[in-house]
Each structure stands twice: as structure tokens, then as C-alpha cells.
Structure 1
Amino acid sequence: MFAGGVWASAQAPSGHADSPMVHDPVIACESGKYYLFSTGQRLFSLVSDDLHEWKSPSSVFKEVPQWAMDSVPGYKGHTWAPDIIFHNGRYHLFYSCSTFGKNTSAMGHASRSTLSTSSDEPWVDTGAVITSHPGDDYNAIDPNVVIDYDGKPWMTFGSFWGGIKMVRLKDDLSSVLDGENPVTLCTRLYTPADERPMPKENSVEAPFIMKHDGYYYLFVSYDYCCRGLKSTYKVVVGRSHNICGPYVGRDGRSMLKGGGSLLISDTPEHVAVGHCAVYDFDGRTVFIAHGYSREKNGESHLVVKDIRWSDDGWPEIDS
């Protein structure tokens, strides 16, 4: 077991305090403060009182978990796509260890009873939740953990390869429930092909599930990130009464056949908004993501927007 230090000093994410440079952001709220976690060396974190001004940049871990470097050749601590959830009295942090273009990957888990930057309590790292290797039809990155309406924990994850997967977790969230195998929630490659042309690659990743009014809503990012102003990311969403799907868009098309309703892509300030998370905070439904700044020549910056719900129960960006 690795007891990771917390809030280690780190090079600050640059950019303005109200638009920091981040990638793959997620947020948790504790005692009126918002804690943001994002991709970075040993994971970056920021703190805000209002979701607007961000401060206290830091790295989560003082050192990289040795198990991750042993498991993923080429991984040197630049840690991707975290997720954060409060469950059974602890904050559970999930993170991705991988290298570009390969599915030799692992998703780790650490927990702590508080997010406060003034506490010296360490993150207790329990190692890998799921790993993937060449030959697997999934890539073990981009975790998102959700507790279903019956109180059962699930992890959805995936990037390219066989698409977006889901597995049931044990109640302590540190490992997969015995006997569980991943099920597919979303793919853009399917057989037989129908009237909708398929992409050359299964360009879908970054799942996030939220509960709302009896439904589960699955948000994913289609197409490509990480190319600055040439990025093509877009967020689509589908919903289901069953956490394991099938998820469908507004038009009824299944996300198992590349479906989903477009939520956001380009804005006047950013191109390719994607890798989102969606939360209910103090009566607001808040959408967060990163987008590539037109003004800053394609730097990846934080995007925060409100979501409104349509009369028929679909999320829409409130402009």
C-alpha cells in the first residue's frame, strides 16, 4: 500500500485564475470549497470558493506510485484523466496511467477522508482497479465512478479500442467485483454497418455518468483531443433507465451504434470542448470540461457552464 503525500508543491497550471490551463478536469465540493483535479505530473489540483477564481495549485502525490511505473512501461508520473467521488465517508480519487497510442494502461485508486489543503492526512493508494494489455478490447483509462439508484458502485471507462466499458466495483471502490466482466456502453464501430458512416477509428472516450430524474445520462467525447486548434472533440449524451444501458440519444439511436445527442463542441472562446464532468451543486447543474483557447493559440483551458434541463428531460448548455 502506498501512502501518497498530499498537496505537494508543483509548477502551477498557468493561465488566468478564472481560466486555468487544465486537461480532463473533475471537481468535488467539501465545506463550500470546490476542489478541481486534472491531468498533470502526479495529478494537478486547484481550489475555488466560487467555480470562477482558482488558486492553490499543487500536485496530489509527492511521489509516483511504484506499482504504476512497474505496470505501465514508459509511464513516468504524468497522470491522466482523474475522477473523484465521495462515498462511505471518504473521497475516492481514481487516475489513469498510460502512454499515448497504447492500451498497456492502468487505473489506480486512492482515498482520503478530507480534501482540505490544510490537512496533513495522506492519500492512501490501494493500487490498480483495472489494467489493460495488448489483446484486450478496451483501454483502462478515463475512469468515472457512479453509485446507482440502488446504492451499487460502478466504474465506466475507456478510450478508443472497443469503446466505453462498465464494470461493477466492490463496495470499497478499490477493485472490481469478483466475476465481473466489462460490458460495452458506447462504440462507434459496430456490425453490421448501417446508414451512418463509421469513423476509421473508434474515436470515443472520457465517459461520465450522472443521475437525474430517474435516468442515467452517459456523456462521452467523440473524435480527437490534444491537437490544439486542430482538435475535433465534441460531447454527446445519451440516457437510459438502466445503468448498463442501452443508452440512446434524443433521436432514439443507440450509443452502441455511434448514437448520442450533441451537447457541445466549439464555442466563441474555445474549439473542441470535451472530456466533461457534470454535477449538481447548490441547485445548479454544472458542466465542466477543457477546451482549446482561440485567444491563447490552442492552449487547453477550463470551461465551466451551466446546464438547463429541457421539458422532455435532456441536458442543454445554458448560453
Structure 2
Amino acid sequence: MGHLRRGGVLAAVLTLLLAGASPAPAAGPDRYRNPVSAGFADTFADPVVVRGDDGLWYAFGTSDPLREGEGTPHRVPIARSADLVDWSYVGDAFAPDQRPAYAAPGAAFWAPDVRRLGGRWVMYMTVTDTTVSADTFDTAVGVATAPSPAGPWTFADEPVVAPRPGAGGGYLWTIDPSQLTGADGRSWLYYGSYYGGIAVTELSPDGLRAVGTPTPVAVDNKFEGAYVLRRDGWYYLFASTANCCAGPATGYSVQVGRARDPRGPFTDRDGQRLDVSRAGGTPVLTQNGNRWIGTGHNAVLTDLSGQDWIAYHAIDRADPYLDEPFGVNERPMLLDRLDWIDGWPTVNAGAGPSDGARPAPVTTGRIDARFATADLRDWRVESGTWRAAGGVLTGTGALASRTRIGGDLRAETDLRLTGATTAGLRLGGVDVRVGGGRLTAGSAGTPLPAGADLTDRHTLAIEVRGRQLVATLSPSRLGDPVARVSLRLPRPATGALTLRAQDGPAEFDNVSVARLYRPVRHPVAPPRVGPVLRGFSDEFTGGLDPAWQWVRQDPAATVTGGALRWPVQDADLSGTGNTAGVLLRDAPTGDYVAETKVTLDLGEDTVRNYQQAGLVAYVDDDRFARLTQVAIWNTRQVEYGYELPFAGQPVYGGSIVGTPGTTTWLRLAHHVDRVTGEHEFRAGSSRDGKHWTWGAVWTFPADTTPRIGLVAHGGATPAVTAEFDYLRFHR
């Protein structure tokens, strides 16, 4: 949900109220511009988006005021759209006096997750305050059901996951739920946050009760906001990290790991686990230097072309609060293309959040049948009887489209077997059907999970690229295929799309055929690292170079044996303390990359708050970007912290970049924006000096002159010394 960061490094306020922006100008036909929520809300945090049975799209957000000056939080606001771009407010899921019996009177509802389960819609949400104790944050995961995404929503009497007392006092943060139906048809719920980590538990078949023993899947003090989907045999755990709500210093971002089992273990691209002290996480979405910061708490959806999209919230760094400074963080809903490159998801091929006109999602196709009327003039009855009524097509036999189709395409339908033994689509001479416990495409087939109930609505989708056909069956259309089959076609698929039901009636709805999306194959290039600029660099081979300048010199820092050895100071640089030493040197003009190699033995698992060492881009004590390997409670992270003056006081936040080793290589890539003149610093880290993870961008005003330096501070117990091998600048 993106609320609080446990502890001092990224401490935040429990006011988890959120996002906004002024209405975005029209982007033109088939294009859109972020934030997509601007038409109905200034803030719409923790969004999740589903496609309703009516073919429209529904978005749900955290309980907050929607507009500046409104003051009163909405109780899970709902918006609706026909095209995923233009949204309108539908209403709130819950009335002001509506709450489950276990919720305290002042409870809020955060981070909804909505799914179609069986013959109804189910919403999981954080209930922030319950009646189990006097603690005002004894959170639980609640659940409600409805006949449609628009409601009416009715709470279940009991929470799915009850409040959990923490061993260290208080209650574990039982927040940010996300449901997934696994490949075997079992239902799972992910939940948790910084205090307690993320866990997964199996759900009862109706999705209303947790059963079995929860399994930890992501370490505490690093991740929250879980969202899981299944693709190509892998389960992908998306999780947000760092602070959701630090106003103009918010560095929230999304990372991912994957596993073959919904219970993990999840590992990142480098093989690092997400459930250990030095937790991994491959970046999916992080700020890139444009207006958007704090890009996190995501959901994933698929348009009619098969292209995946990521919905998330972000903060406009020029307008970070909904009303007054240090109140509700203003976090509108954004939407961007989610690409899969070499088996890993990334936003806009790694370019990050968009801030200009972009190609819009595909939400209509050459065939786009919602069956809102009885008119079937675009269809031809080949056999049997067919009737459209109430937004559903019911029939038995065969019904063919009069529109001919061909080429690379995606066809889909919502399907329910009300009497038929099998039903499905015929495309290019190939029958793709469900029934008899199987999903079949031509001569290829695969079993459905035991207990799969085809009298409940499922989405059947077919993608044809060249002569390869892939069919999937999904209960929620949210990255949850319970069956997948592929077939090599003898010839290109052309002709009519035919709906078929055998031995009885079946219901069809939301039948579409659209041109198949074109996948992105290559990521955007990382920052270029050229030759070393010897005149600006120091290898620490002959004492401390005279070009270095101290802010609060530390005489304990010495250069010996080809390294700068600096005992970690019992001091800090964030906030108003400003007691830590900073060792600086002037940077080159223009674009460059600064790099250091730092060894710091922080151990693992134990609390070492907040010992750290690394690079800093520094203007003064109230404006700097600090890239360090750091101990944050039981975890070891690479934190890219940022401080700036705002509304008369320093504000600190940060982002997370990669996984540290005892020895970690760190880089800051500097770029001057050609339009604004701002200094942009992008952070990178490596465990071996060869394979780099690149993360967030922090910016400095054009009229500043940042210097580059080194820091080693955050606590003197136990005593530990940072060892820097060099500071190099590359053009």
C-alpha cells in the first residue's frame, strides 16, 4: 500500500492519504497522457484495475479525499472507463457508516484488490483499525463481495487475515492484500509490509477464508504492496520498496522476483532471493527524472491486443501534497506499457514513467461484441439457436462473424458453460474449446485444474503470431491462467471467427478480435560509461589528493595501502543534525559517471541501524543525494537517499537500488537536462563491478553546482570501517 517505512532512515507518517494532478490535456486520437485519473480525482492511490462483465474497466483506490480541498475521505472510490484513458467517478464501494463488525469505528480501508471469483466479485482490502485491541494500527485483511465491480459491496463477517501481534510489540502490518489463482486452481492471498514482511496463504475455494500455514515470501523492512501474476510457467511477485509518502523526496519504486511455485522462493534476475537479509529485487518501475517520483504500488492488466499495462500511483514533485505541506501525499493513478524482455517485466522498455502523449491501450477491435441488444446482424447462424439478451449471448451450435479476420491477432471471449459439454472459438480452421476437463486447441490439449467449474465465467483468449497459436483460460483475466496450450498452425489463420457450443447452451460475452501487440525485444540503453577522467579521479595510492575538500573533517579517515579507510561515524547527514563528515571534490562539467568500490562488513540479519558508506552528490547539508550500502533494521540494502529543503524544513526520502555485497560498486550517472538545465543523477550498483542494476533518478536545480564525494556514517556500534578503493569519473 505504500504507507510507512519502519525506522528512522525512511520514517513516514501514518497518514496514508494520497495523490493528484491537474487535469491532463487531451492527447489526441489513440493517445493518452498521465495521470489518467485527472478527470475525476487529484489523488487515487494504490490502484487496481479490472475488466467488468459489461466490458468496461473499473479502477479502485485507497480511501482518501479525491480532490484538493475536499477534506473527507472516500471509502474505496470506484472509477469506470471504456478505454482505460478517460475515467469517471462511479461512487464509493462502502457507505460512510458501513463497516464489518470487527472494524473499529474510525477504521479506513486501504489498498483494495478486486477479482472475479466464481460467480461473484471479491474485494480484499486493508482494515486499518480493528476491535481486537486499543492499538490504532492493529490491521487486518478484510473481504467483501458484490455481483459486479460497481457493487453493491457487502462485507464478510470475519477478516480473511486477522491482526497479528508482533514479537517486538504492536501488530504486524497486515496490509496490501493481493489474490491469485494458481495453475492448479488453488487460490492464494499475498499480504504484508515492512513490519513483518510479505507472506502468502492459501484461501478457501470461495476466497473468503485463509487456510493452512502462511509462508514468508519477502523480507520485512524492504517490501510491501505485493501483486502476483503467472506467465510462461513463472509466478512473478511485484513489490514496492522504500517510502511511499515523503512528499517531494518520495522514492517509492517497484521491484520483482519470480518463482516456479506461488509460495516461492522468489529470486531476481541475478538469482538473489527476496526473503533474506540481503534481499534481491529486479527493478520494474522507478523515477527517471521527469515530473513523476514515488512510482509504486502497482497492478497489472492486459488490453484487447494482449499488451500488458501497469497501473500505479506517483507523485508530481512540483505538487507533492493534496492540500497543505506535510499532509496527504497527492498520488494520482498513472498507466504505462509493461514490456517483457528476456523473461523480465519492465516499464516502457526500462524508460520508466511517461510524461507525454503515448499510444493508448487497445480497448476495441475489428470484432467487438458486447451483446447489449438483440441485434445479431454482424453474425451468421451456421447451426443451432442463438439469442442475445441482457448483455449476454446464449446459444448452441455455431455462430460465425461476418467480419473476416487474419494476420497476427488476439481473440477472446468471456465464456460460461450452462449446459454445453464443450464450447469455445473456431479460428482459422482450428477449434479452441473447453469442456470435459480440458482446454483443447486442435489436436493439442491440457487438463484443467481439478474442481474447475466451467459454469462460472472464465476468459478464453487466443493469440496467433505467425503460425503459432497460444490459448489460455483465466478466471479473472488478471495474469492468472489456469490452463495454457500452444499449437503450430499448418497455415495462417484467416476467415471468420466462429462461436461454438456442443450438446447444449453456453453463454458468450465480450467477444473481441484485435491486432496482436508487437512485443518490445530490447531495453533502453543504460548510462554510457566511457574512459576514466584521470584528472578528476583518485586511486588512493599516494595519500589524499589535494583536490579533496572536507565538510566537517574526520581525522580518523586515512589513506593507506591504496585505499581510503574511514571508520563509520556516529553521525548523520539527514534532517537537522548535519553532524557527519563529507569528503568532496569538484565534478567535471557536462555528462559523466562517478564510481567507487566500497567494502563495509555489516554482517547480516542483525540490527545495525543505520551504518552506511558510499557516494554522495552534494550541494549543501540540506540538498544532497546519498547512494550507500546500508543496514536498515535486519536488512542490508543499497539506498539512494535524497534530501531537499521544502516548506521551510529539510525533507528526506529515498529509493532502493540493487543488492549489496560486503563489497559493493556504486555509480552516479550525471546528466544535464537540455530543456530545464537540471542536474539528473541516476544511481547504479553492482556486486561484482561487471553486472549493474540501475535505479532511480534524483534531480538538482539548474542553478546549483553539485560536487561528488564519499560518506561513512550512521552509527559507531559495533565499530566498523569502510574501505574505499577509489573514486573515478568517467566521461
Q: TM-score band (shorter)?
A: 0.7 to 0.9
Kept in 1, the 8 Å contact 2:166–2:196? The answer is no
Partner of 1:51: 84
Q: List alignment gaps of at least 5 residues for structure 1.
A: 1-12, 189-201
- Measured after TM superposition, the shift of residue 98 of structure 1 is 1.2
Alignment partner of 1:123 is 2:146? no
Partner of 2:215: 183
**Following the alignment from structure 2 to structure 1, what is the Cα–Cα distance between the partners of residues 99 and 336?**
34
What CA deviation, in whole Å up to 9, does each residue of 1:211-238 have, x standing for no partner? 1111100000111112222212111001
Partner of 1:191: none
More moved, 107-116 vs 293-302? 293-302
Query: Which residue among 168, 187, 202 is the counterpart of 1:168?
Result: 202
Alignment partner of 1:242 is 2:261? yes
What CA deviation, in whole Å up to 9, does each residue of 1:75-114 have, x standing for no partner? 6243111100111121111111116x97511111111121
Partner of 1:61: 94
Kept in 2, the 8 Å contact 1:103–1:140? The answer is no
Distance 1:203 1:86, change over 3 A: same
Partner of 2:313: 290
> Which residues of 2 match residues 134-283 of structure 1 at below 5 A?
134-135=165-166, 138-177=172-211, 180-187=212-219, 202-257=221-276, 258-267=279-288, 268-282=290-304, 283=306
What CA deviation, in whole Å up to 9, does each residue of 1:4-44 have, x standing for no partner? xxxxxxxxx87527334211000111122111001013211
Distance 1:261 1:88, change over 3 A: same
Alignment partner of 1:112 is 2:139? no
SS of residue matched to 1:229 = helix
**Following the alignment from structure 1 to structure 2, what is the Cα–Cα distance between the partners of residues 129 and 66?**
12
Alignment partner of 1:98 is 2:132? no
- Identity percentage of aligned residues: 28
- Measured after TM superposition, the shift of residue 54 of structure 1 is 1.1
More moved, 15-24 vs 157-166? 15-24
Distance 1:32 1:296, change over 3 A: farther
Alignment partner of 1:89 is 2:127? no
Q: Give the residue type in structure 1 aligned to 2:217.
A: L
Distance 1:82 1:306, change over 3 A: same
What CA deviation, in whole Å up to 9, does each residue of 1:271-313 have, x standing for no partner? 0100111122321211011001124335211110111111x21
Q: Give the residue type in structure 1 aligned to 2:247.
A: G
Kept in 2, the 8 Å contact 1:35–1:45? The answer is yes
Kept in 2, the 8 Å contact 1:138–1:165? The answer is no
Partner of 2:47: 25
**Following the alignment from structure 2 to structure 1, what is the Cα–Cα distance between the partners of residues 282 and 160?**
30
Kept in 2, the 8 Å contact 1:103–1:134? The answer is no
Q: Give the residue type in structure 1 aligned to 2:256.
A: V
More moved, 28-37 vs 163-172? 28-37
Q: Give the residue type in structure 2 aligned to 1:285.
A: D
Alignment partner of 1:39 is 2:62? yes
**Following the alignment from structure 2 to structure 1, what is the Cα–Cα distance between the partners of residues 22 and 62?**
15
Kept in 1, the 8 Å contact 2:120–2:147? The answer is yes
Q: Give the residue type in structure 1 aligned to 2:311.
A: I
**Following the alignment from structure 1 to structure 2, what is the Cα–Cα distance between the partners of residues 133 and 162?**
9
Partner of 2:403: none
Distance 1:148 1:65, change over 3 A: same
Distance 1:286 1:104, change over 3 A: same
- Measured after TM superposition, the shift of residue 67 of structure 1 is 1.6
Taking only aligned residues, the RMSD between alpha carbons, in angstroms, comes to 2.0
Partner of 1:7: none
What CA deviation, in whole Å up to 9, does each residue of 1:197-217 have, x standing for no partner? xxxxx1321000011111100
**Following the alignment from structure 2 to structure 1, what is the Cα–Cα distance between the partners of residues 123 and 333?**
20
Kept in 1, the 8 Å contact 2:227–2:238? The answer is yes
Q: Give the residue type in structure 2 aligned to 1:54.
A: W
SS of residue matched to 2:275 = helix
Alignment partner of 1:314 is 2:344? yes
Distance 1:290 1:76, change over 3 A: same
- Measured after TM superposition, the shift of residue 68 of structure 1 is 4.0
More moved, 146-155 vs 59-68? 59-68
Q: Give the residue type in structure 1 aligned to 2:196.
A: G
Kept in 1, the 8 Å contact 2:77–2:92? The answer is yes
Number of matched residues?
A: 282
**Following the alignment from structure 1 to structure 2, what is the Cα–Cα distance between the partners of residues 102 and 148?**
34
**Following the alignment from structure 1 to structure 2, what is the Cα–Cα distance between the partners of residues 290 and 60?**
20
Partner of 2:8: none
**Following the alignment from structure 1 to structure 2, what is the Cα–Cα distance between the partners of residues 34 and 94?**
18
Kept in 1, the 8 Å contact 2:272–2:280? The answer is yes
SS of residue matched to 2:193 = coil
Structure 2 length-normalised TM: 0.37
What CA deviation, in whole Å up to 9, does each residue of 1:242-299 have, x standing for no partner? 1110111101100112111011121413101001111223212110110011243352
**Following the alignment from structure 1 to structure 2, what is the Cα–Cα distance between the partners of residues 126 and 316?**
37
Distance 1:292 1:68, change over 3 A: farther
Alignment partner of 1:300 is 2:331? yes
Q: Give the residue type in structure 1 aligned to 2:76.
A: L
